[in-house]
Amino acid sequence: MKTIKAPLSIRLIYWFTNLTLGLLALVFLAVIAFNILLYTDFFGNDMQLHTQLPVKVDFLETGNLHLNDRDIKVELVAATTKIHFFNTPTFITKKVGIAMLIVIAGISYLIWIFRLFIKNVKEGATFTIKNIKILKKLAYGLIALWIFTFIYMQIANYYIAEHLNFENIRITDEIPDYSGILFAALLLWVLAHIFETGLKLQQEKDLTI
Amino acid sequence: MAVIVNLDVMLAKRKMSLTALSQKVGITMSNLSILKKGKAKAIRFSTLNAICEALECQPGDLLEFQFDN
């Protein structure tokens, strides 16, 4: 059977996916090691933790924007930021550690199944039931990841942001909704249905003598 | 109601094997087998043309419409 070489874009995506998966595997192992150290109380309360603040902050800072040889006076009013714990209590680090483990595991799994999809496309098996199942799995997986992230943000908001006090900065109740993940899931779900139609056409073509 | 393919009947009448027909019309054995077993969804005019030429028959000799009992 004559094999057709996959387009460069597909081969590049496949190569990049393999690289990402390899790096994620290393990160996953590092996160497991980090969790083991956390649960064996290796760090104690001395952990220096940087974590994303789940809400936006409002503050007023004047500055200067230099554009086209002109100075424009501006104010910085809102931002997403990170929080730094000097001595992080273990009950916080443990929660962050577990959340990191779940998110990294979830992303690794999604990239692993995406790799299977790209591998099939690269080998010319584009419109197959296997690929449709993979696309649907990816869509549902992204939705699950979005739900987890959303719940995690609510919990983090309750534990950290609700009890956070700064003198000149106001903590808003604007939690990022990560709607991009949901949009990507929707696109993949639609793509799965397009592939279903593609499969029907492919079968019809294959059975036309 | 279905259209059935009488390729096996015509092959028997012409005392020709499926392999010989495949070589004569340039259609793969697997595709001819799909046609013979009635699993094909469609047939191209060019294919019908080639088979009719090879078997010296009419399209009506190959295809038959049967009513359900």
User: Does the pLDDT at position A148 exceed 80?
Assistant: yes
- The answer on pLDDT for A166 being more than 90 is no
State the ipTM, two decimals: 0.76
Whether residue A192 is predicted with pLDDT greater than 90 in this model: the reply is yes
Q: For residue A147, how many C-alpha atoms fall within 13 Å in the half-sphere facing its CB?
A: 6
Q: Is the pLDDT of residue A161 over 90?
A: no
Is residue A2 pLDDT above 60, yes or no?
Answer: no
pLDDT digits (tens, 9 = 90+) for A67-123: 989 999 998 887 878 888 887 788 888 888 888 899 899 999 999 999 999 999 999
Distance from CA of A110 to the nearest CA of B (A): 37
CB pairs under 8 A between A and B: 23
What is the number of domains present in chain B?
A: 1
Cα A203 to its chain centre, rounded Å, is 36
The confidence score (pLDDT) of residue B52 equals 93
Distance from CA of B9 to the nearest CA of A (A): 18
Contact A209 B39 (CB under 8 A): no
Q: Which of A203, A204, A208 is closest, CB to CB, to B44?
A: A208
Local confidence band at B1 (pLDDT 50, 70, 90 cut-offs)? low
Q: Rounded to 5 degrees, what are φ and ψ at B24?
A: -70, -40
Helix (H, G, I), strand (E, B) or coil at A11: helix
CB contact A1 to B (< 8 Å): no
Mutating which of B3, B41, B46 best tests the A interface, going by the most A Cβ atoms within 10 A?
B41
Per-residue pLDDT at A44 exceeds 90: no
Q: With left for phi above 0 and alpha for psi between -120 and 50, is residue B59 left, alpha or beta?
A: alpha
The CATH code of the domain that includes B43 is: 1.10.260.40
> What is the per-residue pLDDT for A199?
94
Domain that holds residue B10: 2-66
- How much is the pLDDT for A3? 64
Average pLDDT, chain A: 87
Q: Which residue of B has its CA nearest to A201?
A: B41
| Mean pLDDT on B7-31 | 91
The residue ranking higher by pLDDT, A83 or B10, is B10
Give the percent of chain B with pLDDT over 90: 59
Which has more pLDDT, B65 or A162?
B65
pLDDT at residue number B69: 67
Contacts of B35 in chain A (CB under 8 A): 209
Nearest residue on chain A to B33, judged by CA atoms? A209
DSSP 8-state assignment for residue A207: T
Q: Does A53 or A25 have the greater pLDDT score? A: A25
CA distance A203 to chain B (A): 9
Task: Characterise A68 by phi-psi region: left (phi > 0), alpha (psi -120 to 50), beta (else).
Answer: left
| Beta-bridge partners for B2 | B66
Query: pLDDT confidence of A27, banded at 50, 70, 90?
Result: very high
* Percentage helix, strand, coil for chain B under 3-state DSSP, each rounded to 5: 55, 15, 30
Model confidence at A1: pLDDT above 60: no
Residue appearing with tokens 């295809």: B63
Please give, rounded to a whole number of angstroms, the shortest distance from the CA of A55 to a CA of chain B: 58
